[in-house]
Amino acid sequence: MLIIPLLVILQDGLSEGVGELWRQVTLPMAWHALKLTLWTSAIMTVINTIMGTLTAFVLVRYDFPGKRILNGIIDLPLAIPTLVTGVMLVILFGPQEALGAWLKEQFDFSVIFAPPGIILALLFLTFPFVVRSVQPVLMELDRTQERAAATLGAEGWTIFHRIILPPLTLPIVTGALLSFARAIGEFGSIVIVAGNIPFISQTAAVYVFGEVESENRLGASAVSIVMVAIAFSLLMFADYLRKRSKGKTT
């Protein structure tokens, strides 16, 4: 169920040799799609890591009205089909809609059929990953060290990055890796938000879809293999980090 499909795609991609696989991947259209996927995912990961950590911090440390509602909202992206996420963003930022038209007119800034839309869609669907990875660790953090630091005159920011941040590094990094791995393969929301415009807004997943439709097996397999290899090694790396830290603490 898991291994056979992987082998088939490997065999198909390598059927003409590694050189041909490389040639298919570096075709201008495929190469651009892969690059677009990687840089939009990277920007998303940076924003998501910062905002996810901040959200987890606010949820764990502060009490405020509406906290439970906010905590519930974090999981919404897991419940909403990604295609529907795409539809939502098109309604909000589409060129025919009020907000989208205004942005276009005032700032010449397009969200839909452009990279910002891809980043927004990815941010939406990966939002829970960092938050839910950091939250439990932050909850169990012993606060005596922070109090000691505060007694010794450390300021808020110093306490945060010297005492609170180090134990959170691992969950933050694994959350970020998960987000990135998830983003590389995203299709449903992106095909709606970004469309299928080569060299502008066509991501790797959308490119593969196009090649499958036009029966270019070699091209589809080659780009698929690259995508799976990147995402899978990221997941394995996250797993390795998790295991290594477990070995250290117990």
Partner 1 sequence: MSVTIPARTRVVKVQSPLVAWLDRHKEALTKWTLIAVVIAYVGFLILSPITALAFGALERGIGASLESLNHPDVFTAFWNTVWISLVVVTIHAIFGTLVAWVFVRHRFPGRDLINGLVDMPFAVSPVVAGYMLLLLFGRNGLLAPVVESLGIRIAFAMPGIVLATLFVTLPFMIRELIPVLEAFDTRQEQAAATLGANGWQTFWRVTFPALRWGLIYGVTLTFARALGEFGAVLVIGGGVQGRTETATLFIYRALDERQYIGAYSASLALGLFSLILVLGSDWLRGKKQ
Within 142-201, the residues that bind partner 1 by CB under 8 A are: 156, 181-182, 184-188, 191-192
C-beta closer to partner 1: residue 148 or 229:
229
C-beta closer to partner 1: residue 78 or 200:
78
Among 169, 214, 236, 246, binds partner 1 (CB under 8 A): 236
DSSP string of the chain, one letter each residue = --HHHHHHHHHHHTTT-HHHHHHHHTSHHHHHHHHHHHHHHHHHHHHHHHHHHHHHHHHHH---TTHHHHHHHHTHHHHS-HHHHHHHHHHHH-TTSHHHHHHHHHH----TTSHHHHHHHHHHHHHHHHHHHHHHHHHH--SHHHHHHHHTT--HHHHIIIIIHHHHHHHHHHHHHHHHHHHHH--HHHHHHTTT-TTTT--HHHHHHHHHHTT-HHHHHHHHHHHHHHHHHHHHHHHHHHHHHHHHH-
C-beta closer to partner 1: residue 71 or 169:
71
Among 46, 58, 101, 139, binds partner 1 (CB under 8 A): 58
Is residue 139 involved in binding partner 1 (CB under 8 A)?
no
| 15-23, 108-116, 139-147, 229-237 -> range binding partner 1 (CB under 8 A) | 229-237
| Count of residues touching partner 1 (by CB under 8 A) | 71
C-beta closer to partner 1: residue 103 or 204:
204
Q: Which of residues 61-120 bind partner 1 (CB under 8 A)?
A: 62, 64, 66, 70, 72-85, 87-89, 91-92, 97, 120
Smallest separation, CB 8 to partner 1 (Å): 5
Is residue 235 involved in binding partner 1 (CB under 8 A)?
yes
Is residue 237 involved in binding partner 1 (CB under 8 A)?
no
